[in-house]
Each structure stands twice: as structure tokens, then as C-alpha cells.
Amino acid sequence: MTLIRDETGTQRTLGYVIDVADPESARCHLDVTDAHTNRHDVLHGGIVTLLLDSAMGATGSLSIDPEGRAPFLTVSITTQFLAAACAGERVTASGRITGGGRSLLFISGELASDSGALIATATGVFKRVPPKTA
């Protein structure tokens, strides 16, 4: 398993880990705590979307970089919320490229709990950041 952890302030603050071991699909894992829940004691929708966005963007990165670190920017993302996750659960977001070309990729995502419940799905458009030239 190839993990990216503590790479960004967001990762350090929320505690999620990006798994880029599968060359076709990156995953984000989060152990949900009370710090991640909203006033209804369920995983906050913004964090759901953040996990999906991170997994989908890293999946785009894997299309050109086996370490999953090539930058991709989110052009758009739409999230569908299907079920709730609560503190004490572990959730995993994954991405899958569904289309695109040289600079834009269409990527879908799913967030599921370790019990198998589908929490949310997403679709997005991601743009490859061109390499810097000196």
C-alpha cells in the first residue's frame, strides 16, 4: 500500500490518508470522529465532498504519475448524499476516470463505510496542471 499522509494542512487537520497503491483508482480513508460531525452527529457534508474531491483528483493524477502527486485542479464537482456516517466509522472515498482527453478528465467517485453502506457519490471535471517550464 502506497500512502500519502500529512502532505497538506487539510490532511493534517482532518486526519485523512490518500492511498495510491491501485494505479487505476486512488482512495481516501478517514476514521470519523466527533471532530468530523455536524450538529446532527453525522459526518459533515463538506468533509464528504472533500474526501471525494481528494480521491478523484488523486485518481486523475495517477493517469500521468504513478505516485499520484501530479497536480490536477477541480473544475467542477457534484455530490449526491445517500446515507449518513457517524463517529466511530471508517469511510473510504474512491475515484474512477470515466472519460476526458489530454487536459480535462471526467471522474466519478464513491464514498462508502467499511460496513459497505454507500454514503455518497460524485461526478467531477478535473484539469491537468501543465508542468512548469524554466
Q: Which three cell numbers stand for residue 5?
A: 499522509
H/E segment holding residue 75: strand 72-81
- Domain total of the chain: 1
Report if residue 124 sits inside a domain: yes
Predicted model pTM? 0.94
The answer as to whether 65 is a domain residue is yes
87 domain-assigned: yes
Q: Is 41 left (phi over 0), alpha (psi -120 to 50) or beta?
A: left
Residue 133 lies in a domain: no
pLDDT at 1: 65
Domain harbouring 80, CATH code? 3.10.129.10
In a domain, 23, yes or no: yes
User: pLDDT digit string (tens) for 67-90?
Assistant: 888 889 999 999 999 999 999 999
Q: Is residue 134 part of a domain?
A: no
pLDDT in tens, 35-45: 999 999 999 99
